[in-house]
Amino acid sequence: MTTSGTTLKRIQREISDLKKEDLGDISVGPVNDNPFLWRARIPGPQGSVYEGGVFEVEIALGHDYPFSAPKVLFQTRIYHMNISDKGNVCIDILKNNWSPALSIFKVVLSLSSLLTDPNPSDPLVPSIATEFLRKRATHDLIARQWTELYAKPPPPLPPRPSPSTTPLNLPSSSINNSSTSTSVNRTSVKGKGRANAPATDADRIPEVQAIGIDIDSTIEGVEVTSYSTRGPKRRKDVYSTEDVIDLSEEVESSSTRSGKRRRVENPGDVIVIED
pTM listed for this prediction: 0.57
Contacts of 169 (CB under 8 A, 6+ apart): none
- Judgement on whether residues 218 and 136 belong to the same structural domain of the protein: no
3-state secondary structure of 150: helix
Query: Which CATH number does the domain housing residue 125 bear?
Result: 3.10.110.10
In a domain, 114, yes or no: yes
Tens digits of pLDDT across the chain (275 residues): 556 788 999 999 999 999 888 888 999 999 998 999 999 999 999 999 999 999 999 999 999 999 999 999 999 999 999 999 999 999 999 988 999 999 999 999 999 999 999 999 999 999 999 999 999 999 999 999 999 999 998 887 788 877 655 555 555 555 455 444 444 444 444 444 444 555 555 555 555 454 554 545 444 444 444 444 454 445 444 444 444 445 444 444 444 444 444 444 455 555 555 54
Helices (H) and strands (E) in the chain, counts: 7, 6
* H or E element in which residue 142 lies: helix 136-146
3-state secondary structure of 34: strand
Task: List, for residues 62-77, the tens digit of each pLDDT value.
Answer: 999 999 999 999 999 9
In a domain, 192, yes or no: no
Catalytic residues: 90
- Judgement on whether residues 145 and 25 belong to the same structural domain of the protein: yes
CA distance 187 to 176: 17
In a domain, 189, yes or no: no
Q: What's CA 218's distance to the chain center, in Å?
A: 80
In a domain, 119, yes or no: yes
In a domain, 22, yes or no: yes
- Judgement on whether residues 146 and 55 belong to the same structural domain of the protein: yes
**Pick from 151, 175, 194: which residue ends a domain?**
151
Contacts of 188 (CB under 8 A, 6+ apart): 196
Q: Give the total number of structural domains in the chain.
A: 2
**Pick from 98, 126, 151: which residue ends a domain?**
151
- Judgement on whether residues 120 and 227 belong to the same structural domain of the protein: no
- Tell me which residue range forms the domain holding 231: 214-275
* Residue 238, phi then psi, degrees to nearest 5: -110, 130
Evaluate the omega torsion of the peptide bond into residue 66 and state whether it is cis, within 30 degrees of 0.
Answer: yes
CA distance 133 to 225: 128
- pLDDT score at 24: 87
CA distance 55 to 43: 6
Helix, strand, coil in percent for the chain, rounding step 5: 35, 15, 50
CB 67 within 8 A of CB 100: yes
- Judgement on whether residues 20 and 119 belong to the same structural domain of the protein: yes
